[in-house]
Structure 1
């Protein structure tokens, strides 16, 4: 794996980059991905304990309806993401990346703490689900601005020849966060009784997640701060060419965010409810997808730097994913075992990461620096809100109304096909300098 130099002067590498000669790239990567780590750690924990949260906060006579309500609370946090993307993305472009990144991680940690401390429906009644929904909205607002500022920081800070590698850590950090969340959930599941887990054990991961905040803020204090930009810039932020790229970016993200939330977060629930695997055996399934994401994303990002082209890997990976989705879910349903499901998820994630990691540099490289964080944050927030955050709810609903457990495969195929067309229409940027 490519290593970071301990010190460098970014102004020697590419025009327009902030001076960061006293800060290592390792620290910059860690600072940039800390918020993303907290975000996806929280997603993993919520998804792993979705059935528990459904029982405690969204009780219903039909357990499937209860699960749908819990997933709706998960999805509702994404309603606030576009607002956060526009507001905080613009804030990052005007006031600097560091200020925005510090604010977003603090808000996300607050939301996680609220979820971990809220009394159940049996204790305070309707106020319990209302508080959970409020916490998800707060997290959604913060998460909407996190991605744009963090990805812009990774792209702009460091050598031009390793932009793809650095940007890929946004996706790799999702895998690391999911491993942390699923690992802690697995320990609690195995070590605690069912009664203790239901009573207090499920709260522990949410409260532990808040510890990422002080570490993230400490790291982000060492990022080089940029001077604030005046709001009346000479260059328009609504140029038709940029607006077109914004729409392409939304749809380029669409298929991959759906695949992320289904394969990385919904699969444990799917394996329990429809493949009838024991809860404890789904731990293996839950760790397979994030492990492949963590291992493969930096490799694909580095390879795109060596190729000096982002699109070939992206297009090939997404095409292969489309081809493999239906037969993989068919095999899961006809040969339901932890080993079979895990092996198929590993195969799908191999091509998912190939189609996604290089795009994490390709998409922001399509926007100029003075509006990069705003355009990227808002596009990502809209795509994830409309498609990613609702993916678990949509596939669960599709299975219920159609009675077909292959519904997740069909939904992902359609979304990834749209995404493939969109990413193929973006400009190739691997050889381009940032402006």
Structure 2
């Protein structure tokens, strides 16, 4: 719902007001959750408020990706779009890294009872500190959408070939982002997998989250930078082929060794291979959509991929592990997702300006201001 409402707002009224709305709603939820009184204090209002804040957060997050990614692309120099868009993924992985570090520290300092009672409030409260700074930064941004041109493009009658082209991009983008988010959620599941399935200590298992965030922090901008120089498709295909080949032996080795070295090393290898590709998937999908549907279209594709596939990944993986009794169940699920993503990538056109400049430099120069 958030992707539809806020994403379309980004296409009609501008990227900046849509980003301010989504961030403001996220801020309300992030501040409200740790301040919610306990069940003992206010009874049923406590779970009702928590669910309400979580729903508000989900609504806002659904509308965040489309406008912000469209803004980054439109604000970027033509030959650095990949690098600029990768900053979004890098910031998300930085958040994962910080969350992992906070989790490790709280688990080290607090008892399990204290962590359940009030430690989680501390973690969420730390996240709320960024809200005023983020709001101030967004208010200072310059709008990148030409609203008049967008309204003209929306009002103009659509030609026959256009709509199937949009549907094709949407379907391929959904398959690619579904594969990417499934892979990411399996990697995020490594902490639970290591502690619950493999029986490793919780403090050690939390280190896997730190490793995911650290590798993502480094590889996201590297992925964007490489895609600006050699094209989107090579950067998407090669790392995922490596990932496809590495998944099964990596999980087999982790199940056999069950050590910190194996956990951190395998998590790092899988995360690097995954992130180098997934960082560029968002770039390719964004570039494939025209300006007047870029925010809403990307938001809807991303939201469906996250909610349907990403949101169900950890439940499905846990269920498959219990059903089969095999510690390798997450590996097979991840392999299937990557295979689907690779197939979709082969059907996507190359969108990197560096490729188009080599093929038709004049056409790219003329089209650049319209992008």
Q: Is the 8 A contact 1:254 1:416 kept in 2?
A: no
Alpha-carbon distance in 2 for matches of 1:135, 1:397: 28
Equivalent residue for 1:322, pick from 225, 244, 248: 244
Equivalent residue for 1:334, pick from 243, 256, 266: 256
Alpha-carbon distance in 2 for matches of 1:153, 1:413: 33
Q: 5+ residue gaps in structure 2? A: 357-367
2:334 alignment counterpart: 412
Q: How well do the aligned residues superpose, as a CA RMSD in angstroms?
A: 2.0
Q: Please list the CA deviations of residues 116-135 of structure 1 after superposition, one character each: whole Å capped at 9, or x if unmatched.
A: 23345566665544443332
SS of residue matched to 1:358: helix
Alpha-carbon distance in 2 for matches of 1:325, 1:153: 35
1:133 alignment counterpart: 51
Alpha-carbon distance in 2 for matches of 1:157, 1:342: 37
Counterpart check, 1:191 vs 2:112? no
Q: Please list the CA deviations of residues 190-239 of structure 1 after superposition, one character each: whole Å capped at 9, or x if unmatched.
A: 22233332221111111221222211111111111246454852254972
Q: Is the 8 A contact 1:101 1:149 kept in 2?
A: yes
Q: Please list the CA deviations of residues 74-126 of structure 1 after superposition, one character each: whole Å capped at 9, or x if unmatched.
A: xxxxxxxxx11111111001111110111111111222233323345566665
Equivalent residue for 2:185, pick from 261, 272, 277: 261
Once the two structures are superposed, the pairs formed by residues 344-359 of structure 1 within 5 Å of their partners are: 344-359=266-281
SS of residue matched to 1:255: helix
Q: Which has the higher helix share?
A: 2
2:225 alignment counterpart: 302
Once the two structures are superposed, the pairs formed by residues 150-189 of structure 1 within 5 Å of their partners are: 150-189=68-107
Equivalent residue for 2:119, pick from 177, 198, 201: 201
CA deviation after TM superposition for structure 1 residue 170, in Å: 1.8
Alpha-carbon distance in 2 for matches of 1:339, 1:235: 60
Alignment CA distance shift 1:130-1:213 (3 Å):
same
CA deviation after TM superposition for structure 1 residue 376, in Å: 0.6
SS of residue matched to 1:367: coil
Alpha-carbon distance in 2 for matches of 1:179, 1:262: 16
Q: Is the 8 A contact 1:285 1:338 kept in 2?
A: no
Q: Please list the CA deviations of residues 277-302 of structure 1 after superposition, one character each: whole Å capped at 9, or x if unmatched.
A: 11111232221111011001111211
Provide the aligned length of Structure 1 versus Structure 2. 351
Equivalent residue for 1:312, pick from 227, 231, 234: 234
What's the TM-score once normalised by structure 2's chain length? 0.89
2:176 alignment counterpart: 252
Alpha-carbon distance in 2 for matches of 1:208, 1:320: 37
Alpha-carbon distance in 1 for matches of 2:123, 2:94: 15
Alpha-carbon distance in 2 for matches of 1:358, 1:227: 26
CA deviation after TM superposition for structure 1 residue 393, in Å: 1.5
Q: Is the 8 A contact 2:98 2:210 kept in 1?
A: no
